[in-house]
Structure 1
Amino acid sequence: MLASDILIREKIVKLYDDVIGTLRNLNPLPADLRETLQEDELLERTREKRKAFSEDQCQVVVSGEISAGKSSLLNQLIGTDILPTSLLESRSLPCHLQYSAEKRAKLIDSTGNVIDDINYDESDETKKRLKRIIEGTEPVPNLAYVDIFLNESSLKGNVMLVDTPGIKEEDTDDNEHLFNHLRKASAFLYIIKSDSAGGTHKLFKIQERVKQLTLDGDMQLNPDSILYVCNRWDQVDESEDQRVFEEIRSRIRRNGIEVKEGQLLKLSVKKERKRRLKGKTHTALYLVFKDKLQQLMGRAIKNRYHKECIWLHKALRSLISIVNLYHSSLQKSLQERTALQREFQEDVTSLKKAADTPKMKYCRKVMRIYTILSLKLHDHLRTKETCSDIIRKCKSEMTQKLSDPNIVSLKDIEKASNETLQQLINEEITKWRENNQVDNACAQIEKEVLGSYRRLEQSLEQRLMNSGRKCSLGSAQVPTNADSNVQTGSNKDDRLFTKSEKVALVLTLTVGLPIAVTASVFLVPVGVAKILSEKHTNWKTMSDFRKNIDQRLSELLQGLYESEAFTKDRFYEGFEKNHIRLFNQWIIDQYEKFVIEIDRISAILEQLTKKIDIDVGNNSAVELFLKQVVQFQSDCLSINNEVQQL
């Protein structure tokens, strides 16, 4: 049993150390879990339990009535008369008998400090002095108890025999010594005077105190770990043997104490001492007593180890419960955040795809609208009615200008005609633009675009609100003139077909004749200049121009319309350069504004990803910690199984 005892004790101490080491290193765990575990103070309680277990021994407390033979029995057990004995009441101190290779005695005060350390031998003088100290006849200030170390094999195996003063009727310090030792007792020997059944009535006082200590949680003594020894059995007549034995058992039971078979023993310490001194073998009663005592001590050790395992198991179970609860919450949070991350990723993808739809859809619509408008304008300027009106107005103005003294050559006439035609064409374009509401051609589309993006914004806002992050989103705005103005590097306003537009870019042709163009985007190529030059050669004199002014103006206008600057493609290019590009830029601006809002989800997604990474790390740390604690609990159960096999 001794080897198993030492091995199991070492395993329990190691398990305590492993648990303490794990509880000390909580840094890998999340801060809130660390705080919870630190508030639980399990580390401090485990340290205290480990210290108490490693320092305290399996105490077998011996008590009884005064002069019942307690000290004599202990002297007999250890094989030497080290403890003082007396038939009279004396003020003796508690003595702790422990194993050591070296014989010595330590005098301990009430705080646990050593007053004196005495090495002693078997000489009568040393023993007498030690007995005087224990009896109190040689006073030692502040002395509370005496630790006596003996090289006695029966004390091996973490066992301590505790000799307490005889219990008294009244409450005294000696009685308190007994009760204080019972708090830590693993086994209890109560010595009874057989010749008078002395001390049985005092068991009631002990029992009441033990019940109170048990209720207060200060008692670990098991009722099965108690032996009642009837000493002085040699003074009982053989004929009265059974009657006296039953009477003593009956008296104990009358005090409300259950006495099981084998718990009440007969013994004569005086007789056994004489036989020991004469070198004779022990009696059967003593052998039975020693056997029962060994069983009792074995049970005491077993119960002590079992209680340690039970405490550790409960502490670990409580720890596992706390960590499991946190782990479940952490996993739930991780799952929710992962699902939210996946949802956000899908939202970003779907919203960006949805945002592309208005951009592509409405840009195509605008292109179709302005393609039709450019064709209509092209055809309108070439209608007979429009051309006649332009020529009529130009003739009227040129008739007045021909009387201008500054016009003295055909070159002057051509310049004046071109300027007048430009002015009239621009006026016609402005008039046509107003009549066909060109400025508002895309108003409905703009509303549709804003409606589409507003619906997307509402969808985005709802998704953010559903995730617990309500966002205030700004609505898209229709671009103002200031927003849509295209800067060309000059101070001119180059927007095509806008109110009060006055565009007059003068191009220098190869023939050196300035030709007025109807719009900034309509450029007259070299080929057209040659055609006009050829027509100019037919204008032989100024009088010829005046005489054939209608024809000359018609030729000039027709030549201009037939140039590349006034083709359908060039008209569309004019619209494309201004209106279509402006609209495309505006819708791209709306798209980019919405993408900025989508990026808010991306920012949340980035934060969420960081939190998920932290959660994953925390989850791994908690799982590792939980695995260690569960292993400790398994080790505890394994050790307890070994204890049960003792």
Structure 2
Amino acid sequence: MLASDILIREKILKLYDDVIGTLRNLNPLPADLRDTLQEDELLERTREKRKAFSEDHCQVVVSGEISAGKSSLLNLLIGTEILPTSLLESRSLPCRLQYSAEKRAKLIDSTGSVIDDINYDEDEETKKRLKRIIEGTELVPNLAYVDIFLNESSLKGNVMLVDTPGIKEEDTDDNEQLFNHLRKASAFLYIIKTDSAGGTHKLFKIQERVKQLTLDGGMQLNPDSMLYVCNKWDQVDESEDQRVFEEIRSRIRQNGIEVKEGQLLKLSVRKERKRRLKRKPHTDLYLVFKDKLQQLMGRAIKNRYQKECIWLHKALRSLISIVNLYQSSLQESLQERTTLQREFQEDATSLKKAADTPKMKYCRKVMRMYTILSLKLHDHLRTKETCSDIIRKCKSEMTQRLSDPNIVSLKDIENASNETLQKLINEEITKWRENNQVDNACAQIEKEVLGSYRRLEQSLEQRLMNSGRKCSLGSAQVPTNADSNVQTGSNEDNQLFTKSEKVALVLTLTVGLPIAVTASVFLVPVGVAKILSEKHTNWKTMTDFRKNIDQRLSELLQGLYDSEAFTKDRFYEGFEKNHIRLFNQWIVDQYEKFVIDIDRISATLEQLTKKIDIDVGNNSAVELFLKQVVQFQADCLSINSEVQEV
């Protein structure tokens, strides 16, 4: 395990660096995802974990009762008498032993700052001073612990042996120092005084604190990473060997501690030290202990690395969960926008086609309607009843007007008759229009047109609203007629229909849109004077006109009806000029206004296209980021598998 420790450690550090590098470069990601990841503070936590991992060692904490031989055992292991040993209770400081090519010691205060850096290589006086500092006979202000660096191969592989003060019955600073180091411990080595089974009862106190620290999340010490060493075994009679061993194991178990096979060992540090001085080989007990210690240190490193892999894997899993959730939302949004874009493109085409339908459909409908109306009016004016009524009224008025002293000639009679007939015909036309609702004939059609356009507008508005870009569209309105919209006859012709009569009607649709329907009479130019002079030149005297007034008025009326001004085509022209053209212009206006509204779809399409392009870019960036993180997670699992296999 120790041989491959450096390689695995470097892999973990590199993985940390790769993750940190990726988390530092979040600029390609969408801003809201960046904010979420930055709020999660994963980068800061990963940096802290990386720093702690690079600086911390796999600590094997060594503890035991006072004078149990902790320091002597460590001196034996490292092959040098660097740690002070005493049978008496002293103010010893925790010492952390770790590998270095150079022999030196660092005095550390409670904040982790170095108070002094001592080079003790081949200098006996410096070694003695270091021992005095450790055992507390030479005081150094604010000193918390000592880091001792040794060129000892057994310490290679990022392993640190921590010698703690002997544990005491009462709660003291020394005990608290032990518990503080246990927080970071990957393994625990407890030394027991064999002659009295000393310290076994204190294991309960240690175990309770370990349980509490574990519950609080303050440590992750594995029970399998604990080793119990019965020192001073040379004091046990060979005949009592097994009984004493079982007694010590029983006492440990009485404190609620499970001792597995191979976790409780026998050893005599004093005996092994003497054998080393005499250059004799170590006993099997020492070799077994050293092998178990190597295994313990291997497990410590393994647990340490597994702990890092577990944390990193969990952090990456949390990161992947956040990014997956965001990507799912992003892809859903992208799909919605793409679908909306396609629907808008289809709408733009279908709406223009749909907008053309009312224009063509209703224009033809209005033309047919006014063709029928013009024929009906043409026929109505020629009915016997209508003609008789007009002649009767004209005769009544002309009888009164002939007594007018200003009418003295046939020309005067002709003018008066012309005016009267024209007035009566216009009155009849006005009456017929009102009875047949000619002025309101387009109202229902206009209502249908507005309803059709309004439905299209509502569909358009809903599309725009669904896209998150609500637009207020101007509803189609029927314009009020102005005099300039009305076609007039030529100046030299008299007007058959009065221009002054207009009927304004306001309808309220269910959609709440006011429709201003303005009726304008159509105008038919009539040259009455020409008719009289051409058709009635046989009228020689006013007396003749008065004697045969019924006949004369009938002839005059018939002459008007036979004129070009009263043909069916001229009647339709009148409607076409004043109603059909106006309607056509109005519906074209509505169409053009709606096309402008449709153009808003194009603007929305441009915005959607830009947003889709951004979403596509964001999705690619998120996919690339996610791919990197997933690879990091796979690397983490690979490293953890490598640790498991060692």
TM-score range, shorter chain: 0.7 to 0.9
- Taking the aligned partners of 2:91 and 2:370, their CA distance within structure 1 comes to 122
More off after superposition, 276-285 vs 220-229: 276-285
Using a 3 Å threshold, how does the CA distance of structure 1 residues 234 and 368 change in structure 2: closer, same or farther? same
Q: Tell me if the contact between 1:192 and 1:230 (Cα under 8 Å) persists in the aligned partners.
A: yes
More off after superposition, 343-352 vs 398-407: 398-407
- Taking the aligned partners of 2:504 and 2:250, their CA distance within structure 1 comes to 136
Deviations 1:293-346 (A, max 9, x none): 111111110111111111222222233333334444444455555555656666
Q: Tell me if the contact between 2:231 and 2:269 (Cα under 8 Å) persists in the aligned partners.
A: yes
1:493, distance to aligned residue in structure 2 (A): 15
Q: Tell me if the contact between 1:505 and 1:520 (Cα under 8 Å) persists in the aligned partners.
A: no
Using a 3 Å threshold, how does the CA distance of structure 1 residues 575 and 489 change in structure 2: closer, same or farther? closer
Q: Tell me if the contact between 2:499 and 2:523 (Cα under 8 Å) persists in the aligned partners.
A: no
- Taking the aligned partners of 1:321 and 1:211, their CA distance within structure 2 comes to 32
Q: Tell me if the contact between 2:94 and 2:145 (Cα under 8 Å) persists in the aligned partners.
A: yes
Using a 3 Å threshold, how does the CA distance of structure 1 residues 418 and 17 change in structure 2: closer, same or farther? same
1:616, distance to aligned residue in structure 2 (A): 4.7
Query: SS in structure 2 opposite 1:439?
Result: coil
Using a 3 Å threshold, how does the CA distance of structure 1 residues 357 and 507 change in structure 2: closer, same or farther? closer
Deviations 1:450-479 (A, max 9, x none): 555566677778888999999999876665
Using a 3 Å threshold, how does the CA distance of structure 1 residues 489 and 279 change in structure 2: closer, same or farther? farther
Using a 3 Å threshold, how does the CA distance of structure 1 residues 257 and 402 change in structure 2: closer, same or farther? closer
Q: Does 1:12 align with 2:30?
A: no
1:92, distance to aligned residue in structure 2 (A): 1.2
Query: SS in structure 1 opposite 2:106?
Result: strand
Deviations 1:408-452 (A, max 9, x none): 999999999987876676566556545655323334434544555
Q: Tell me if the contact between 1:430 and 1:499 (Cα under 8 Å) persists in the aligned partners.
A: no
Which residue is 2:119 aligned to? 119
1:480, distance to aligned residue in structure 2 (A): 4.4
More off after superposition, 514-523 vs 624-633: 514-523
Q: Does 1:231 align with 2:228?
A: no
Using a 3 Å threshold, how does the CA distance of structure 1 residues 237 and 483 change in structure 2: closer, same or farther? farther
Using a 3 Å threshold, how does the CA distance of structure 1 residues 51 and 506 change in structure 2: closer, same or farther? closer
Using a 3 Å threshold, how does the CA distance of structure 1 residues 486 and 255 change in structure 2: closer, same or farther? same
Which residue is 1:94 aligned to? 94
Q: Tell me if the contact between 1:522 and 1:565 (Cα under 8 Å) persists in the aligned partners.
A: no
- Taking the aligned partners of 2:62 and 2:314, their CA distance within structure 1 comes to 32
Deviations 1:100-148 (A, max 9, x none): 1111111111111111111122232121111111111111111111111
Q: Tell me if the contact between 1:517 and 1:523 (Cα under 8 Å) persists in the aligned partners.
A: no
Which residue is 1:337 aligned to? 337
State the identity %.
94
Deviations 1:217-252 (A, max 9, x none): 212211111122222223333333333322222222
Residues 253-402 of structure 1: matches in 2 within 5 Å?
253-335=253-335, 353-378=353-378
- Taking the aligned partners of 1:493 and 1:616, their CA distance within structure 2 comes to 72
Using a 3 Å threshold, how does the CA distance of structure 1 residues 495 and 292 change in structure 2: closer, same or farther? farther
Deviations 1:49-70 (A, max 9, x none): 2221111001111111222221
- Taking the aligned partners of 1:514 and 1:240, their CA distance within structure 2 comes to 115
Query: SS in structure 2 opposite 1:481?
Result: coil
Using a 3 Å threshold, how does the CA distance of structure 1 residues 442 and 400 change in structure 2: closer, same or farther? same
1:37, distance to aligned residue in structure 2 (A): 3.7
Query: SS in structure 1 opposite 2:6?
Result: helix
Deviations 1:320-375 (A, max 9, x none): 33333444444445555555565666666555555544433332122112223334
Q: Tell me if the contact between 1:488 and 1:494 (Cα under 8 Å) persists in the aligned partners.
A: no
Using a 3 Å threshold, how does the CA distance of structure 1 residues 501 and 133 change in structure 2: closer, same or farther? closer
Structure 2's unaligned 5+ residue stretches are none
Q: Does 1:579 align with 2:584?
A: no
- Taking the aligned partners of 1:504 and 1:220, their CA distance within structure 2 comes to 92
Using a 3 Å threshold, how does the CA distance of structure 1 residues 534 and 502 change in structure 2: closer, same or farther? farther
Q: Tell me if the contact between 1:507 and 1:514 (Cα under 8 Å) persists in the aligned partners.
A: yes
More off after superposition, 467-476 vs 44-53: 467-476
Using a 3 Å threshold, how does the CA distance of structure 1 residues 428 and 167 change in structure 2: closer, same or farther? closer
Query: SS in structure 1 opposite 2:482?
Result: helix
What is the aligned residue count?
A: 646
Deviations 1:365-399 (A, max 9, x none): 22112223334455666789988998999999999
Using a 3 Å threshold, how does the CA distance of structure 1 residues 630 and 488 change in structure 2: closer, same or farther? farther
Query: SS in structure 1 opposite 2:494?
Result: coil
Deviations 1:479-512 (A, max 9, x none): 5455995488999999995664699999999999
- Taking the aligned partners of 1:127 and 1:358, their CA distance within structure 2 comes to 107
1:173, distance to aligned residue in structure 2 (A): 1.3
More off after superposition, 318-327 vs 397-406: 397-406
- Taking the aligned partners of 1:560 and 1:52, their CA distance within structure 2 comes to 114
Q: Tell me if the contact between 1:97 and 1:150 (Cα under 8 Å) persists in the aligned partners.
A: yes
Query: SS in structure 1 opposite 2:60?
Result: strand
Query: SS in structure 2 opposite 1:313?
Result: helix
- Taking the aligned partners of 2:376 and 2:32, their CA distance within structure 1 comes to 74
1:637, distance to aligned residue in structure 2 (A): 1.0
More off after superposition, 327-336 vs 269-278: 327-336
- TM-score w.r.t. the length of structure 2 is 0.80
More off after superposition, 59-68 vs 39-48: 39-48
Q: Tell me if the contact between 2:65 and 2:198 (Cα under 8 Å) persists in the aligned partners.
A: yes
Using a 3 Å threshold, how does the CA distance of structure 1 residues 501 and 237 change in structure 2: closer, same or farther? closer
Q: Tell me if the contact between 1:484 and 1:582 (Cα under 8 Å) persists in the aligned partners.
A: no
Q: Does 1:81 align with 2:81?
A: yes
Deviations 1:14-48 (A, max 9, x none): 22223233334444445554444444433333222
Query: SS in structure 1 opposite 2:490?
Result: coil
Using a 3 Å threshold, how does the CA distance of structure 1 residues 550 and 638 change in structure 2: closer, same or farther? same
Which residue is 2:49 aligned to? 49
Q: Tell me if the contact between 1:509 and 1:526 (Cα under 8 Å) persists in the aligned partners.
A: no
Using a 3 Å threshold, how does the CA distance of structure 1 residues 618 and 110 change in structure 2: closer, same or farther? same
Query: SS in structure 2 opposite 1:160?
Result: strand
Q: Tell me if the contact between 2:65 and 2:167 (Cα under 8 Å) persists in the aligned partners.
A: yes
1:212, distance to aligned residue in structure 2 (A): 1.7
- Taking the aligned partners of 2:544 and 2:515, their CA distance within structure 1 comes to 21
- Taking the aligned partners of 1:455 and 1:506, their CA distance within structure 2 comes to 21
More off after superposition, 581-590 vs 561-570: 561-570
Query: SS in structure 1 opposite 2:48?
Result: helix
Using a 3 Å threshold, how does the CA distance of structure 1 residues 353 and 275 change in structure 2: closer, same or farther? same
Q: Tell me if the contact between 1:109 and 1:142 (Cα under 8 Å) persists in the aligned partners.
A: yes
Which residue is 2:138 aligned to? 138
Q: Does 1:438 align with 2:434?
A: no
1:603, distance to aligned residue in structure 2 (A): 7.4
Using a 3 Å threshold, how does the CA distance of structure 1 residues 583 and 527 change in structure 2: closer, same or farther? closer
Using a 3 Å threshold, how does the CA distance of structure 1 residues 117 and 567 change in structure 2: closer, same or farther? same
Using a 3 Å threshold, how does the CA distance of structure 1 residues 393 and 185 change in structure 2: closer, same or farther? closer
Q: Tell me if the contact between 1:231 and 1:266 (Cα under 8 Å) persists in the aligned partners.
A: yes
Q: Tell me if the contact between 1:233 and 1:268 (Cα under 8 Å) persists in the aligned partners.
A: yes
- Taking the aligned partners of 2:511 and 2:174, their CA distance within structure 1 comes to 139
For the aligned residue pairs, the C-alpha RMSD in angstroms reads: 8.0
Q: Tell me if the contact between 1:71 and 1:83 (Cα under 8 Å) persists in the aligned partners.
A: yes
Query: SS in structure 2 opposite 1:517?
Result: strand
Query: SS in structure 2 opposite 1:507?
Result: strand
Structure 1's unaligned 5+ residue stretches are none
- TM-score w.r.t. the length of structure 1 is 0.80
